[in-house]
A and B are shown apart, each in its own frame.
Chain A
Amino acid sequence: MAIYTEKVMEHIASPRNVGVLEDADGVGTVGNPVCGDMMKIYIKVNGDRIDDIRFQTFGCGAAIATSSILTELAKGKSLDEAMAITRDTVARELGGLPAQKMHCSNLAADGLHEAIRDYQARREGQE
């Protein structure tokens, strides 16, 4: 079984920013339940900053921990800064992830990028 860092375990034990943002400005969904990992990232944008962020995740420990830490990393960031957060950033912040978890469960950054694109698409729709 995968061995996780203390930081990963800590996020699994008490994940941050779990839940739904009812009035989200952007939502990103990645993965699927057949693969065993699926997540949804909700963002609230103020100006060009991410004011609030929430996540929901179905998946293994790595999937939960990467979602949780991603919300911490993204909160308060500008959209450009948030777009620059990658899977590697997430893994690094957690003190590393087991090799076999890097691909299938490290989806949170993708989810965030999806949410930002969703926000941008909605804005373009309004203009």
Chain B
Amino acid sequence: MKTIYLDHSATTPVDPEVVQAMLPFFTERYGNASSIHHAGRDAYDAMGAARESVASLIGASPDEIYFTGGGTESDNLAIQGYAGHPVNRKRGKHIITSKIEHHAVLHTCQFLERQRGHRVTYCGVDGNGVIDLDELAASIADDTILISVMLANNEVGTIEPLREIRRIVGDRPIAIHTDAVQALGEMDIDVNELGVDMMTLSAHKVYGPKGVGALYIRRGTRVGPIMHGGGHERRKRPGTENVPGIVGFGKACELLARDGAAVRERVARLRDRLVEGVMARVDDVVLNGHPTRRIPRNASLCFRGCEGEALLLHLDMAGICASSGSACTSQSLEPSHVLAAMGVPIEIAHGVLRLTLGKGTTEEEIDYTVDTLTSVVDKIRGISAALGV
């Protein structure tokens, strides 16, 4: 059976060009970037080139890019490293974020509340998943030091108004962090245009390897290390660098700069074909997230009378990889905090299905998925019929 992979927000296949770029750094160019000798210098230079390609994709300068072990670590470094810096700690203990952040942000904020005496405001969102800017503006206090709001949501794909947040903050001494893991490659990103001070990136969502990411830190933003060790990454992230991974991330960003816009346009068209196809053939479906301000690859749909896990399992039997985020598919058995914040009734939220397309997705795959989904929903509803769900 052919695999139809529609879970690119979970992870992506590593692009063969990325693999090719990485390979020499396992076997021939294996130096430690901290070593003085030529093997070490070679690794150091390769990392420098990767730093440049990541930086240029987001309008940053290379010395503002700090490589990490992925998106989760970057979120932790941004929030804990900023809030925990002695100067910032003296200035204040209030952080503002949203209710729909990834757990890497939410749980880090909760940790600071419980263990470090910070105060956190979790701003609500509207029915489309857009942050309530009035609430955000009203919650800014004298001791607010940090605002962390994601650029694009991983479940429903809504793009958040970071530029407006900068406008609201003005030149108050409040740092703005954004988790751009789901936005990278899906929209043009410029840290200066957005007015953000820190930005989280992850390689494996953009056809790069897993376990590598970066944090952009604007020059002058005070962020301390959250791990302790050597002086790597300009004393912000100790540990011998994952050179092959970093080189792969650099290559992935280079490919985004080269092909990103064209891929995006194609993926958006296919996504619209998918959503329109499903809507035309299945009753009682809603598209979650903002109808237009959303990342091209995301189609998040709620099917009344179906439970997300049952949908996933049936799609999987037909070769289709998707994801749900419904209570039954999460480790915690909690329904999606994102849909809950958006005000989606819980019995509807149980029927959520997230399909995320990628650069390898074809029109045939989309048409097959629409057909399969139509019959799967029919089948599941046949089992639940008349329960009044």
Residues of A within 8 A of B (CB): 1-2, 4, 9, 12-13, 15, 18, 20, 33-34, 36-40, 56-64, 100, 104-105
Contacts and interface: CB of A to CB of B under 8 A. Distances in A.
Nearest to A56: B387
Contact of A56 (B313, B326, B383): B383
B interface, size bucket: 20 to 34
Contact of A60 (B309, B388, B389): B309
Interface string B317-353: 1000000001111010101000000000011001000
B130 to A, nearest CB: 26
Interface of B: 305, 307-310, 312-314, 317, 326-329, 331, 333, 335, 346-347, 350, 382-389
A56 B389 CA distance: 11
B350 A36 contact: yes
A104 B309 CA distance: 14
Contacts of A9: 313, 317
B326 A38 contact: no
B326 A36 contact: yes
Contact of A1 (B309, B314, B384, B385): B309
A33 B387 contact: yes
Given A100-B333, A104-B333, A12 B387 contact: no
B314 A58 contact: no
Contacts of A15: 383
A57 B384 contact: yes
B7 to A, nearest CB: 12
Contacts of B307: 36-37, 58-60, 63
17 contacts: A12-B310, A13-B314, A20-B386, A33-B347, A34-B347, A36-B327, A36-B335, A40-B387, A56-B385, A57-B384, A57-B387, A60-B328, A61-B309, A61-B328, A63-B307, A100-B333, A105-B328
Given A18-B383, A56-B383, A60-B309, A33 B328 contact: no
Contact of A38 (B328, B382, B389): B389
A63 B306 CA distance: 12
Contact of B310 (A33, A56, A64): A64
Given A36-B326, A36-B328, A60-B307, A12 B389 contact: no
A55 to B, nearest CB: 8
A23 B329 CA distance: 36
Contacts of B383: 15, 18, 56-58, 64
Given A33-B350, A34-B346, A104-B333, A61 B313 contact: yes
B386 A12 contact: no
B267 to A, nearest CB: 25
Given A58-B384, A60-B326, A61-B313, 16 more contacts: A1-B309, A9-B317, A12-B310, A33-B350, A34-B347, A36-B307, A36-B346, A57-B384, A57-B387, A58-B307, A58-B383, A59-B307, A60-B307, A60-B308, A60-B309, A63-B310
